[in-house]
């Protein structure tokens, strides 16, 4: 008999909970606007990841050097005091590497910004 009482209480609680989900249907849903793909924010070398070859050229311009091996390419972009290496595969950019003497995070960011500024 105790089990029957426990089951009845459980079913009553489920019914109460189910009713409260109907109340949520009246709530307002907000959907965030998504920017167009060409409005992509480029603020660090890692933001180049997954770009296609065409998008990479649109963003960075033509590289100073291209090295090709099998289905992979390494594109190098040069700036004063640093170089950006972009590793491009048929499905897009998979790796980026910024190199230069004594680059800390702010110098790395500044160098990348300079490269982008040269393209505008």
Q: What is the CATH number of the domain that holds 87?
A: 3.30.1450
Q: What is the mean pLDDT of residues 105-110?
A: 84
Q: Give 100 or 54, the one with higher predicted confidence.
A: 54
Residue 102, pLDDT > 70, answer: yes
Does residue 65 belong to any structural domain of this protein?
Answer: yes
pTM of this prediction? Answer: 0.62
Does residue 23 belong to any structural domain of this protein?
Answer: no
pLDDT at 80: 85
pLDDT at 56: 94
Does residue 9 belong to any structural domain of this protein?
Answer: no
Q: How many domains does the chain have?
A: 1
Do residues 108 and 82 make contact, with C-beta atoms less than 8 angstroms apart? yes
Distances (CA, A) of 19 to 6, 8, 27: 20, 17, 15
Do residues 98 and 83 make contact, with C-beta atoms less than 8 angstroms apart? yes
Does residue 84 belong to any structural domain of this protein?
Answer: yes
Structural domain boundaries, residue 92? 40-119
């Amino acid at each position: 008999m105790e089990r029957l009482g426990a089951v009845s209480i459980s079913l009553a609680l489920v019914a109460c909970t189910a009713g409260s989900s109907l109340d949520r249907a009246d709530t307002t849903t907000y959907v965030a606007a998504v920017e167009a793909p060409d409005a992509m924010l480029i603020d660090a070398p890692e933001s180049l990841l997954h770009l296609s070859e065409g998008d990479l050229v649109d963003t960075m311009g033509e590289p100073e050097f291209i090295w090709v091996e099998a289905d992979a390419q390494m594109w190098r972009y040069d700036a004063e005091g640093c170089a950006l290496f972009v590793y491009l595969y048929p499905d897009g950019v998979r790796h980026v590497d910024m190199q230069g003497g004594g680059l800390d995070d702010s110098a790395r960011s500044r160098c990348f910004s300079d490269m982008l500024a040269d393209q505008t």
